[in-house]
Structure 1
Amino acid sequence: MKYMLLVCGDDTADASGMAPVEPWVEELSARRGVLLHGHRLRPPADAVTVRVRDGEVLRTDGPFAETKEYVAGYDILECDSLEEALEAAARHPVATIGAMEVRAFWDDEDTEGDIRRLDAELTAAGRERDFDRAMACYAPDAEVFHPVSGLEQRGVEALRKAEEVWFSTLSGPVEREVLEFRVRADESIAFSHALVRMRVTPVGGDALDTTARVTTGYRLTGDRWLIVHQHTSVALDSTVPGAAGS
């Protein structure tokens, strides 16, 4: 389960004796794989508070409440239990002079399932030669390394043109079989590493079969995951490259 640690500083506390945060970050991220990401926040004096009353937008410089304790930053952990998250919070250096608020994320999300369904859309789109369906899986600013041209396609329209050219050299559908698929995700960014088998038939040629390694980056846009980066590579002795979007 994922937990948010709200790092609460105290502007009346003496931080001169506080231990550095870097060892805590290194231990939880590099050694234990618990810390997904985190960041400091600008001080409350730089905050802007927005309220809407009777349709009018009210803007106030400063925090929404005046208090000696304030949120100085955040960290997102992935732990097996609340006790593990509390243990990590207790070891944070700021806990010695301020406070750590530990809150669990709602657990009704299925990020990996959403990404696997997006990948299944690419498989179905290739089989049906449906460009609109395939391009709907990509963000407008997606950057994709297209193995046919050997060039990076920037933007979904450039990718569409490259795919249309590639499909014009084929007869029949693109058969795509995912042999291996691994996903790593946080709240807004995800990556997958896949081993994909491609079977295609060039116009006037014999059927060809090859396997490609596909690395894909995703971004959560609204409530939907979209592909923002994709790189497909094949073995040097392969005769047919896999399609972009594979």
Structure 2
Amino acid sequence: MKYMLLVCGDDTADASGMTPVEPWVEGLGDRRVRLHGHRLATPAEAVTVRVRDGEVLRSDGPFAETKEYVAGFDVLECDTLEEAVEAAARHPVAAVGAMEVRPFWEDEDADAAIRALDAELTSALRERDVDRVVACYTPDAVEFRDGREHRGLGALRKAMEEGLGHVTGPVTREVLDFRVHIDESIAFGQARVRLRATRADGTPIDDLLHITTGYRNVGLRWLIAHEHVSAHTEERS
């Protein structure tokens, strides 16, 4: 489970003797407990925004006037809350400030959503439905295939229409192996895919492909933002 670790500094505390944070970052990073994080600028550089009766109200400074402030954040992935608390307790700022550990709101199975997107791509190709295929990609998606670059939905659509125009009947896309690594808003997938179809002249197509895919969470769904397709070098079984 993922946890947000809010690193809260105290502008009245003496931090001169605080140990460096780099060993903590490197140690948890090596164990894949700390996924990423960053320091934040000081509260003096913050801007607080409110909207009242349709009017945008902007004020310089933090939301709350307090000696404690959020100085940075880290995203942790731990099996239990206790493990996340232990990691927070080892952070150097815990000795002079405070660490807030808060679980991520779990309202989506990202792995299932990405695999459903891949299944939709398979179904759309089988039906040779270009609109459904293109709908699986972000507007600024980039695809590399056969030494050619297709950038943006217009180029993707043209390449797809050209490719499907040379085949007849359904296109079979068999996913032999599919692995996904997911972060909060991006994900990377690697797959071996066998693509079968029949050319207009009756000759068969039977390609074994290696596909590396970059996904982006666009808010309500995951879409493909980057795709690299190449011939797989392993022998076919």
The reply to whether TM is greater than 0.5 is yes
- Aligned pairs, number: 235
SS in 2 for 1:107: coil
Matches within 5 A, 1:36-115: 36-115=35-114
State the Cα deviation string for residues 149-170 of structure 1 (Å, max 9, x = none). Answer: x211111110110111111111
Q: 1:232 aligns with which of 229, 233, 237?
A: 229
C-alpha distance in 2 between matches for 1:237 and 1:52: 58
Moved more, 135-144 or 20-29: 20-29
C-alpha distance in 1 between matches for 2:21 and 2:161: 51
Counterpart code for 2:41: R
State the Cα deviation string for residues 198-232 of structure 1 (Å, max 9, x = none). Answer: 11212214223221111111111122111110111
**2:153 maps to 1:151:** no
Deviation at 1:146, TM superposition (A): 2.0
Counterpart code for 2:108: E
In structure 1, what is the equivalent of residue 209 of structure 2? 212
Moved more, 33-42 or 117-126: 33-42
In structure 2, what is the equivalent of residue 28 of structure 1? 28
SS in 2 for 1:164: helix
C-alpha distance in 2 between matches for 1:153 and 1:99: 49
Deviation at 1:49, TM superposition (A): 0.5
Deviation at 1:197, TM superposition (A): 1.2
Flag the structure with higher strand content. Answer: 2
**2:204 maps to 1:222:** no
C-alpha distance in 1 between matches for 2:191 and 2:35: 22
C-alpha distance in 2 between matches for 1:200 and 1:28: 48
Unaligned segments of structure 1, at least 5 residues: 239-246
Deviation at 1:35, TM superposition (A): 1.3
Deviation at 1:52, TM superposition (A): 1.9
Deviation at 1:102, TM superposition (A): 0.2
**2:172 maps to 1:162:** no
C-alpha distance in 2 between matches for 1:236 and 1:184: 23
Counterpart code for 1:41: L
Deviation at 1:237, TM superposition (A): 9.5
Q: CA RMSD in A?
A: 1.5
SS in 1 for 2:41: coil
SS in 2 for 1:160: helix
C-alpha distance in 2 between matches for 1:56 and 1:100: 35
Identity %, equivalent residues: 68
**2:116 maps to 1:117:** yes
Query: Structure 1 residues 231, 169: closer, same or farther in 2, change over 3 A?
Result: same
Deviation at 1:236, TM superposition (A): 6.0
Moved more, 204-213 or 1-10: 204-213
In structure 2, what is the equivalent of residue 141 of structure 1? 140
State the Cα deviation string for residues 89-137 of structure 1 (Å, max 9, x = none). Answer: 1111111211110001122211011100111111011000101101011
C-alpha distance in 1 between matches for 2:234 and 2:83: 49
TM-score computed with the length of structure 2 as normaliser: 0.95
C-alpha distance in 1 between matches for 2:234 and 2:70: 55
C-alpha distance in 1 between matches for 2:8 and 2:121: 44
TM-score computed with the length of structure 1 as normaliser: 0.91
State the Cα deviation string for residues 53-107 of structure 1 (Å, max 9, x = none). Answer: 2332211100011111100111111110001100111111111211110001122
In structure 2, what is the equivalent of residue 189 of structure 1? 186
C-alpha distance in 1 between matches for 2:200 and 2:154: 25
